[in-house]
Amino acid sequence: STVQTNLFGFQGAPNSGKTTAALKFPNPLVLDFDKKLPPGVPSVDFWNPEVVQRITPCTIRPNRRDALKKWLSEARTMLDPSTTVILDSYTTLMVDWDLHAEADPSPYLNKKGEVDGFEVHRQKLLYNNTIIERLSALPCRVIVTFHEQVERDDKGNATGKFRPLVSGQFGDQVA
């Protein structure tokens, strides 16, 4: 049998209808980071610190990034192929990644005890690749929403194109 990847990215400005469009797919289950869902939509509320703490306890701050990683790892065997998993939004997940790295810089310290910016970016790229790999491995449709930003040239002028609001090499990969 052939394996078909059903991974889609919806990119748009805030409040442009990305989530509304994604909810039109059958049997939605929203991995909700943005807390903007209409009532009654099935979701895993990653915006809720109590939910996050149940998935991945952390003393520093609610660890949404590792909670998602763990949830995706465990969900592979529990999801029905007719489900549409909607990660809403990747942009908020990346903001949370940065906030967690700032709150706990210990994984990124060099031998002098200073934050190694290259290590931060390397770990973030590895994280992004892991999340996309785990989303791709789910046995169902997956939609990831991204906020967008205007692309600019070296002089800061708008190019007329849009890019997903994701930083570094991963932003280039997603685009």
Q: What is the pTM of this model?
A: 0.81
Instruction: Write out pLDDT tens, residues 101-118.
Output: 999 988 898 999 998 989
Residues of the chain short of pLDDT 50, as ranges, are: 1-3, 162-175
Alpha-carbon distances of 148 from 10, 47, 95, 111, 123, rounded to whole Å: 10, 21, 14, 37, 23
Q: How much is the pLDDT for 138?
A: 93
Instruction: Report whether 139 contacts 3 (CB < 8 A).
Output: no
CA 159 to chain centre: 26
- Render pLDDT for 156-175 as a digit per residue (tens, 0 to 9): 665 555 444 444 444 444 44
The C-alpha atoms of residue 135 and residue 130 are separated, in whole angstroms, by: 9
* Other beta carbons within 10 Å of 113: 8
Q: Measure the CA–CA gap between 144 and 8, rounded to whole angstroms.
A: 6
